[in-house]
Amino acid sequence: MMYAKIHRQCIKKRSWWESCLVLWIPFILGLSCSPVRPLYENEDHHVPFRTHGGIPLITAKLNGKTAHFIVDTGASISLLNEGEADYFGFQTRQDELYNEVCVTDLNGTTTANRVTPCVLELGTLTVKSHHFKSRDMVEFSKPFMEQEGIRIAGILGSDLMAYYHLQIDFKNHVISFKK
């Protein structure tokens, strides 16, 4: 008798559960037919780039002015060109409160300075709070000015690329990123 009572309760529970499934199955199937939402909202952002001697150059805006940046996957930090600070409206100062950041290139090792807050607009991406560093890149950027008449505002390094998931597509000459 006890077995029959437990069996009936299981049947009642199963019937309730089955009725829930009957109601949810069309809903679940309806969702599976709807378009898939991207993992990141506004995922497909692309910015064209061109190359100069095999170096990817991207056009952006720095503090509202058109700026050209070198995209360098080998640079661990993003740098702004101190020689263009007046033109682009940013200030630099030595970073006494924090550890110095040393930058090493073919010419040796130098210290990078801290930059006052800047606004970088890269297509639909607006970067307001990135901690840019700076160093004098006048000699480095001279060939770009002489050959193409463009001001190199700086270098976009792997710190910015990793944070915004920047990917370089050399075949289609676009850089994609996620907000």
Considering the entire predicted model, what is its pTM? 0.69
For residue 118 the two structure tokens come to: 């800047």
Task: Indicate the helix (H) or strand (E) that contains 52.
Answer: strand 45-52
42 CB neighbour count, 10 Å cutoff: 10
Residue range 77-81: mean pLDDT, rounded? 92
Domains belonging to the chain, first-starting first, are 46-177 (2.40.70.10)
| The three-state (H, E, C) secondary structure of 51-87, written as one string | EECCEEEEEEEECCEEEEEEECCCCCCCEEEHHHHHH
Q: Specify which residues 62 forms β-bridges with.
A: 65, 120
CA neighbours closer than 13 Å in the CB half-sphere of residue 45: 16
Q: Report which listed range, 29-33, 105-109, 114-118, is most confident.
A: 114-118
Question: Where is average pLDDT lowest: 2-16, 43-57, 141-155?
Answer: 2-16
* Calpha distance 68→84 (Å, rounded): 11
For the segment 15-59, what is each residue's pLDDT rounded down to a tens digit?
Answer: 554 554 444 444 444 444 433 333 334 456 889 999 988 889 999
Which range in 109-113, 128-132, 173-177 is most confidently predicted, on average pLDDT?
A: 173-177
Q: Which residue has the higher pLDDT, 103 or 27?
A: 103
Tokens of 160: 């910015």
Q: Please, are residues 103 and 111 in contact by the beta-carbon 8 Å criterion?
A: yes
